[in-house]
A and B are shown apart, each in its own frame.
Chain A
């Protein structure tokens, strides 16, 4: 029972490099989201998706791209990494259309940009 799987768990990038954080869920959830967690700021929404082919921006979208070609996968792309993107990133999924549905989180990716 995998739930939400994020890879990698740790990553160090140099400024200007690009990379993709992977997120996959096996619960057939319609909603998927990416958050970043910084000290004292809780979880801030980067991008979210309500289904395959549909994505939208959250609170802090600049410097990140997403796509949702399948229900299962929701990758997050850093186009040109900056030190300000050093953070812990969480992917989450939940059922769509069910107000009582909780969010399920991946294990997180700790990203350091030097």
Chain B
């Protein structure tokens, strides 16, 4: 069982504020680190797949960074909007499998 941890478990953000949260993962046998966005009553959808140490990815107001040597990734949301409310999952890929963290649930208050 791979130890993929996300913190915090949940957070509340005021509309317009920026926020970030963490995913930590094993630093050995690293193939890729995934981030997914999961809205209530829907299926998880991929945000980013990062494979190289130092990778930075951006999609609109959401961005992510990766440090494979120390085993962590940050997800940033700039200028949070109510539609950003969701659970954000990270997943560590080793050879064939994805191991998921428990997620960070973000609630954006208008």
Contact = CB atoms under 8 A, between A and B. Distances in A.
Interface of A: 31, 33, 35, 40-45, 48, 50, 56, 58-59, 90, 92, 96, 99-108
A76 to B, nearest CB: 16
A56 B95 CA distance: 13
B44 A40 contact: no
A61 to B, nearest CB: 12
Q: How many B residues are at the interface, by size bracket?
A: 20 to 34
A44 B101 CA distance: 9
Given A43-B44, A103-B34, 15 more contacts: A40-B9, A42-B100, A45-B97, A45-B100, A48-B96, A50-B96, A59-B99, A90-B43, A99-B51, A99-B93, A100-B51, A102-B49, A103-B98, A105-B43, A107-B42
A29 to B, nearest CB: 12
B97 to A, nearest CB: 6
